[in-house]
Chain A
Amino acid sequence: MKPVLLGLSKKTLKKQQMRYFNFLVLMTLSIVCSNCETNIDASDLLDQQQLVVINGYLSPQDTLLKVQISKSKSRADSRETTIEDLAIKNAIVVIKDENDNEVSLTYSSVSFSYEAPANDLPILAGNTYFLTAMVDGNEYKSSCMIPVNKVQNIESDIKDEPGGGEFGRRILNLKIEDIKDERNFYITGGTITHNFIDDGISVRDLDFDFEHFATDSNRENAIIALEGFFTILSNPVSETPKINLKITNNEQILYDALRADFFNDYNDGDPFFEPIIAPTNIEGENGFGVFAGYQITEIEIDAM
């Protein structure tokens, strides 16, 4: 017998149980329905409005300033669409600082974003920046403020996951010292890199589940404890796998927007989940998206 529960962390049990519960509800409903899935002609039911979606995030640690501008499409539109098709390539994008120093960003067909070297406009902690984008004759505006501080003190501890250690599964426990006396919105993640003896390389994301997103709500000036997961691959490696841990301190709107996207993705297909309406601070006709600041802290940890 393969253990079912012993291989799970305590943290995920509740989530498992609720998903199990939702499955039970769906199973019950499926018993009382027959032929219950039907295609709908959505042409008259859906909002056909097209949005101009602008997302740009600034940080003092940036080497490249990036703003992505795209259009939205209806999900009922069956035409094959790539990221490149959605990207708007002919916009005029300018970022200014408080002293009217400005930089124009140019479109990159690699990142599908508008870019400029960070040296052209220094991004400074505590400063405000202004975005202007002209798209097909319409002007879109926004502004952001770079958080003053970044996370300084992080303690990490790695241990085998109960029941999963033999499969290479590890738990990464983090203790992050809260930035004092202000409301903070943290996003945590990173990668684990394996360099294999045969020259191959594997870069995988760390999984912090819901705890990718954490605030200091109710624990101001305390230690923020987070639990992440990764897997040590069994292939022979040329050096100890490295974890590149990233923690950002973000403007709230950026935190909320990324969290909305994460949760909506995470719960995709769950009929009991209410999709989150992401925030926007883009002004202009049919404008949507977020222009915001953050500060990032990166550390490297041996994964073994």
Chain B
Amino acid sequence: MILHGTLKMYGQKPINNTSETKHTISGYIKETGSQEYLPTVSIYIPEKKVGTTTNDYGFYSLTLEEGTYEVVISYIGYQTIRKQLDLQSDIVLNHTLELDLEALDEVIIDANKGVNESQVTQMSVVTMKPSEINDIPAILGEKDVIKALQLMPGIQRGNEGSAGFFVRGGTPDQNLIILDEAPVYNSNHLFGIFSVFNGDAIQSIETYKGGFPARFGGRLSSVLKIDMKNGNKERFSGKASIGLISSSLLFEGPINKGKTSFIFSGRRTYADLLTIPFQPSDFKAGYYFTDLNFKVHHIFNEKNKLYWSNYFGQDKFTGSEEFEEGDDFKTRLFWGNITSTLRWNHQFNDKFFSNTSLIFSNYNFGAEQEEKFDDERFLFKLSSGIDDYGIKADFDYYPNPQHSIRFGVASTYHNFVPQQSKVRITGENNTDIKQKIESVESAAYIEDNWNINSSLSFSPGIRFTHFQFKTKSYFNFEPRATLSWNIKPDLALKTSYAKMNQYIHLLSNSGIGLPTDLWVSSTDRLKPQMSQQYALGVAKDFLDTGYSITLEGYYKKMDDVIAYKEGASFLLLSDLGTGQEVDWEENITTGEGWAYGAELLLRKKYGKLTGWMGYTLSWSERKFEELNRGRKFFSRYDRRHDLSLVGIYKPNDRITLSGSWVFSTGNNFNLPDKETISNANNFPISFPLSSSGGTTSFTTERNNFRGENYHRLDLGIQFHKKFSKLRERTWAFSVYNIYGRKNPFFYFFDDSKLKKISILQFIPSINYSYKF
């Protein structure tokens, strides 16, 4: 589990911290071999019944009275270390943990291994190991972080196949997705079928659905934090993978052994390359997407470390046609993200740790059409995008085992280009239009994880946010708090409150998260979105069996959420013919939102059989003065029931069997289901191609049509073969939607017949990978 800092251990007694001399044990925990820093490792002193966990950079600090103690260092999937320690002065204790190859056996289940749900203050968090993502069957064998998270309660998929996700009744733009501290604005490839995260290079994944720590802000509904590996500092290693639609390669190793490492991973689809031989010479069309991750980690010394992380991902469609006499026509569509983060870890002393980040993030969508005809040339370019330049400083302070304090500041300069277009025609004046919105978003926060006594812990936090657009300033105060009460050592009652503000917004009316959806900023006329979320839950660990169960209820009220006005869209934001800008804020309306429900998660994290059952009962409603005639309506992905069953079974080290079954109430659709005489019939102006004089179809209620229930079963099997300790090949077979359920993608009327379009029925896949 996530919490960095003090760890509440069941049966803990109040700690005597009177006049005895105290000393600090601190250090870093790394993985044997790769020397990767391990986050959330438990460091526990059984005699004192106190403990802590490592932070994101593997650092921990624990201050105790003088004495001799046994220290237990443990982490799920790694061998536990027990060490005697004579604490007579401050001690630096760095350790490496070895992967526990026996960890799959049921017999080694250890109640102290890692951190259990009931033993941390934090609630509403989902963690997932990259290895779990690797085991869950996926569409076309493309292992996908977000698709795997969609199987967790409270995190819902959008439409069939979509990698967009909706957390506790929120919208995709209300999810803060951060990759090594950099926000990622578009997390989808291929119109949402795949996410941009290549699982091979990922070290850890955490998703916060509520009870947000004060260090996170800027979005209303969730934080998805993904950290990349640092690269192996001891030896060169890698993984190559070949699938039906893409291949990927990961390569990592030392640049300067023990000091500097790198990791590179790349993925590319190749449908475009494979179809080249089958295309006529005068007509070419192709589509691909690619992801590249590159990271360098350098250790100056034990107290100073540098991380440089980069991500580049792009989708690209190209088409060209050649004609006689050199005439041609070309078109190109592309969209993608670039992120780059430079981080410096500095350890001031054995209780005080800092991380400073310089962050760049870019999202860009573009479309081009070019034509050459006789001596005339025509070029049309259209683009939109966002550039973020940020600086952030985070500090961890561990004064004593009762408190783990974090504080920090951050500031980001946003440069939005809602629209840029360029027209070039031979013999005509150039037309260039560029809209630009510049703003600065800043925050300061402080949070504490306070173990009040053996059964009560409290995590208060506060975040001050400031947003500047031209002369307009928004200043907001965001209190956060989580309280945890251990009724029994393995049973905790938790409650949380979080207030969030969101200053940047995604304008979308596609409903499925297309790259044409537009990021814009709050302005003097468009206020920030705001939410308050209350949650109450129970966490119970069955320590002897490896099972845990959490039950949470939540209520979230959202204000000033945004939407396009009726009929407005990206298309209407400017008039290219006249060059006149139509104010995009005029096309936006703001309203209120309500989301509430309950989530149940029964999970087995270790053993030969792992997996979970997640169930969500939820409601999500919206109300806008200018939509649906001012009446409340259910949001598109309001689903009453959502059930996921996921199982991963590893009978031995040669086979992995996995399956997932999901069931959910159908989506809401906006379906014109009535017909009457056109309202333009008696109006003196008629419109070409319109139904004036005839009949017209309409609906009186937004999201008026509840689609059919959704369900599907995915199954997968992997065959592993080890050639040596470090070399392994895997054949993976999986089938998505094995019983071919025709789940609705959208509905439409064809004459008087209601029809549905279904996609992704029975999609088998095969994948080969080789680790070295």
Q: Taking the complex as formed, is B324 at the interface, i.e. its CB lies under 8 A from any CB of chain A?
A: yes
Give B437 Cβ to nearest chain A Cβ, in Å.
15
The answer to whether A6 touches B572 (Cβ under 8 A) is no
The answer for the CA separation of A39 and B516 in the assembled complex, in Å, is: 31
Given contacts A32-B193, A32-B759, contact A205 B675 (CB under 8 A): no
The answer to whether A5 touches B380 (Cβ under 8 A) is yes
> Which residue in B287, B511, B572, B671 is a CB contact (below 8 Å) of A210?
B572
Q: Taking the complex as formed, is A135 at the interface, i.e. its CB lies under 8 A from any CB of chain B?
A: no
Residue of A nearest to B574 (CB): A14
The answer to whether B749 touches A261 (Cβ under 8 A) is no
The answer to whether A260 touches B571 (Cβ under 8 A) is no
For chain A, residues 216 to 246, give those with C-beta under 8 angstroms from any C-beta of chain B: 217-219, 225, 227, 246
Q: Taking the complex as formed, is A193 at the interface, i.e. its CB lies under 8 A from any CB of chain B?
A: no
The answer to whether B758 touches A24 (Cβ under 8 A) is no
Q: Taking the complex as formed, is B702 at the interface, i.e. its CB lies under 8 A from any CB of chain A?
A: yes
Give A69 Cβ to nearest chain B Cβ, in Å.
9
Cβ–Cβ < 8 Å partners of A201 in chain B: none
Give B125 Cβ to nearest chain A Cβ, in Å.
33
For chain A, residues 271 to 289, give those with C-beta under 8 angstroms from any C-beta of chain B: 271-280, 288-289
Give B445 Cβ to nearest chain A Cβ, in Å.
37
For chain B, residues 667 to 693, give those with C-beta under 8 angstroms from any C-beta of chain A: 670-691
Q: Which of A126-134, A140-148, A262-270 contacts B (4 or more CB under 8 A)?
A: A262-270
Cβ–Cβ < 8 Å partners of B629 in chain A: 277, 279-280
For chain A, residues 107 to 138, give those with C-beta under 8 angstroms from any C-beta of chain B: 111-113
> Which residue in B572, B688, B698, B756 is a CB contact (below 8 Å) of A38?
B756
Cβ–Cβ < 8 Å partners of B755 in chain A: 37-40
Given contacts A11-B577, A32-B763, A261-B696, contact A272 B567 (CB under 8 A): no
Residue-wise interface mask of A (24-61) relative to B, using a CB-CB cutoff of 8 A (1 in contact, 0 not): 11001100111111111110011100010101110100
Give B228 Cβ to nearest chain A Cβ, in Å.
29
> Which residue in B287, B428, B682, B757 is a CB contact (below 8 Å) of A111?
B682
The answer for the CA separation of A302 and B391 in the assembled complex, in Å, is: 63
Residue of B nearest to A206 (CB): B688
Q: Taking the complex as formed, is B317 at the interface, i.e. its CB lies under 8 A from any CB of chain A?
A: yes
The answer to whether A76 touches B676 (Cβ under 8 A) is no
Given contacts A53-B677, A57-B682, A274-B509, contact A75 B371 (CB under 8 A): no
Q: Taking the complex as formed, is B653 at the interface, i.e. its CB lies under 8 A from any CB of chain A?
A: no
Residue of B nearest to A29 (CB): B759
Residue of B nearest to A268 (CB): B697
> Which residue in A18, A68, A263, A275 is a CB contact (below 8 Å) of B681?
A68
Residue-wise interface mask of B (586-616) relative to A, using a CB-CB cutoff of 8 A (1 in contact, 0 not): 1000000000000000000000000000000
Q: Which of B392-400, B480-488, B740-748 contacts A (4 or more CB under 8 A)?
A: B740-748
Cβ–Cβ < 8 Å partners of B679 in chain A: 53, 55, 257-258, 261, 278, 289-290
The answer to whether B570 touches A18 (Cβ under 8 A) is yes
Q: Taking the complex as formed, is A89 at the interface, i.e. its CB lies under 8 A from any CB of chain B?
A: no
Given contacts A189-B685, A217-B583, contact A36 B742 (CB under 8 A): yes
Cβ–Cβ < 8 Å partners of A275 in chain B: 670-672, 698-699
The answer for the CA separation of A51 and B511 in the assembled complex, in Å, is: 28
The answer for the CA separation of A264 and B751 in the assembled complex, in Å, is: 16
Give A129 Cβ to nearest chain B Cβ, in Å.
15
Q: Taking the complex as formed, is B425 at the interface, i.e. its CB lies under 8 A from any CB of chain A?
A: yes
The answer for the CA separation of A218 and B588 in the assembled complex, in Å, is: 14
The answer for the CA separation of A87 and B682 in the assembled complex, in Å, is: 13
The answer for the CA separation of A28 and B578 in the assembled complex, in Å, is: 34
The answer for the CA separation of A18 and B690 in the assembled complex, in Å, is: 21
Q: Taking the complex as formed, is B99 at the interface, i.e. its CB lies under 8 A from any CB of chain A?
A: no
Cβ–Cβ < 8 Å partners of A169 in chain B: none
The answer for the CA separation of A210 and B373 in the assembled complex, in Å, is: 29
Give A212 Cβ to nearest chain B Cβ, in Å.
6
Which of A20, A40, A75, A257 has the most chain B CB atoms inside 10 A of its CB?
Answer: A75
Residue of A nearest to B752 (CB): A78
Cβ–Cβ < 8 Å partners of A260 in chain B: 566-567, 698
Residue of A nearest to B368 (CB): A17
> Which residue in B428, B690, B694, B753 is a CB contact (below 8 Å) of A83?
B694
Cβ–Cβ < 8 Å partners of B567 in chain A: 259-260, 263, 276
Q: Which of B9-17, B128-136, B325-333, B351-359 contacts A (4 or more CB under 8 A)?
A: B325-333
The answer for the CA separation of A257 and B380 in the assembled complex, in Å, is: 34
> Which residue in B287, B627, B680 is a CB contact (below 8 Å) of A277?
B627
Cβ–Cβ < 8 Å partners of B763 in chain A: 32
Q: Taking the complex as formed, is B453 at the interface, i.e. its CB lies under 8 A from any CB of chain A?
A: no
The answer for the CA separation of A81 and B373 in the assembled complex, in Å, is: 50
The answer to whether B586 touches A218 (Cβ under 8 A) is yes
Q: Taking the complex as formed, is A181 at the interface, i.e. its CB lies under 8 A from any CB of chain B?
A: no
The answer for the CA separation of A36 and B698 in the assembled complex, in Å, is: 25
Given contacts A40-B747, A77-B752, contact A1 B327 (CB under 8 A): yes
Give A242 Cβ to nearest chain B Cβ, in Å.
16
Give B564 Cβ to nearest chain A Cβ, in Å.
8
Cβ–Cβ < 8 Å partners of A246 in chain B: 684-685
Cβ–Cβ < 8 Å partners of A113 in chain B: 681-682
Q: Taking the complex as formed, is A249 at the interface, i.e. its CB lies under 8 A from any CB of chain B?
A: no
Residue-wise interface mask of B (721-755) relative to A, using a CB-CB cutoff of 8 A (1 in contact, 0 not): 00000000000000000000010011111011111
The answer for the CA separation of A263 and B687 in the assembled complex, in Å, is: 11
Which of B327, B577, B696, B742 has the most chain A CB atoms inside 10 A of its CB?
Answer: B577
Which of B564, B690, B698 has the most chain A CB atoms inside 10 A of its CB?
Answer: B698
Cβ–Cβ < 8 Å partners of B48 in chain A: none
The answer for the CA separation of A111 and B586 in the assembled complex, in Å, is: 37
Give A105 Cβ to nearest chain B Cβ, in Å.
12
The answer to whether A277 touches B566 (Cβ under 8 A) is yes
The answer to whether A47 touches B570 (Cβ under 8 A) is no
Q: Taking the complex as formed, is A248 at the interface, i.e. its CB lies under 8 A from any CB of chain B?
A: yes
> Which residue in A1, A212, A265, A277 is a CB contact (below 8 Å) of B702?
A277
Cβ–Cβ < 8 Å partners of B684 in chain A: 59, 246, 248, 296
The interface of chain A, by Cβ under 8 A from chain B, is 1, 3-6, 9-11, 13-15, 17-18, 20-21, 24-25, 28-29, 32-42, 45-47, 51, 53, 55-57, 59, 66-68, 70-78, 81, 83, 86-87, 111-113, 162, 187-190, 204-207, 210-212, 217-219, 225, 227, 246, 248, 256-266, 268-269, 271-280, 288-290, 296
- Other A-B pairs, 6, CB within 8 Å; known A1-B327, A75-B752: A38-B756, A39-B753, A72-B675, A78-B752, A86-B676, A262-B680
The interface of chain B, by Cβ under 8 A from chain A, is 161, 190-191, 193, 287, 317, 323-325, 327, 329, 331, 333, 367, 369, 371, 373, 376, 378, 380, 382, 421, 423, 425, 428, 431, 509-512, 514, 516, 564, 566-567, 569-572, 575-578, 580, 582-583, 586, 627-629, 670-691, 694-702, 704-706, 708, 742, 745-749, 751-761, 763
